[in-house]
């Protein structure tokens, strides 16, 4: 059972569950090229599914902090891209989506690059984090 968040936003008081917040974040990742999900066996990667049921377990975790969210995202990047540029693209898209969808700002978003994908998967743990002032 997912957590339920009670928020006071510019739209008034809202109640939302963590799965819904995770889905908002997930939908921002679907259209970003050259990022992947590292499967639970950590030997295979897959693209973000555009349709169907979403299981964000192990990929996205959100927690409420004050009147905003802390978001942790785990992804794999394709070899040869700028990790900094791609991570910043994710950070910006997620931040804007939360604010537009819920009227709530992100307090902190963390992108964990858990692998780099070339012909073989190279396990990595690169963390890019951005704090947002309330």
Give 79-120 pLDDT, tens digit per residue: 888 989 999 999 999 999 999 988 888 999 999 988 888 777
Alpha helices (H) along the chain: 18-29, 83-102
Distances (CA, A) of 129 to 41, 46, 110, 112: 26, 24, 4, 8
Q: Which of 6-15, 19-28, 69-78 has the lowest average pLDDT?
A: 6-15
Q: Are 48 and 30 in contact (CB under 8 A)?
A: yes
Residue 50: CB atoms within 10 Å: 8
pLDDT at position 12: 80
What pTM was estimated for this model as a whole? 0.81
């Amino acid at each position: 059972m997912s957590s339920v968040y009670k928020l006071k936003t510019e739209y008034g008081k809202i109640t939302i569950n963590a799965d819904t917040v995770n889905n908002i974040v997930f939908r921002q990742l679907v259209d970003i090229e050259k990022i992947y999900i590292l499967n639970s066996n950590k030997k295979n990667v897959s693209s973000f599914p555009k349709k169907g049921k979403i299981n964000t377990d192990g990929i996205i975790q959100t927690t409420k902090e004050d009147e905003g969210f802390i978001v942790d995202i785990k992804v794999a990047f394709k070899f040869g891209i700028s990790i900094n540029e791609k991570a910043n693209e994710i950070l910006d898209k997620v931040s804007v989506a939360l604010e537009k969808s819920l009227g709530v700002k992100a307090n902190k978003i963390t992108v964990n690059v858990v692998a780099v994908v070339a012909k073989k998967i190279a396990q990595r743990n690169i963390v890019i984090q951005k704090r947002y002032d309330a």
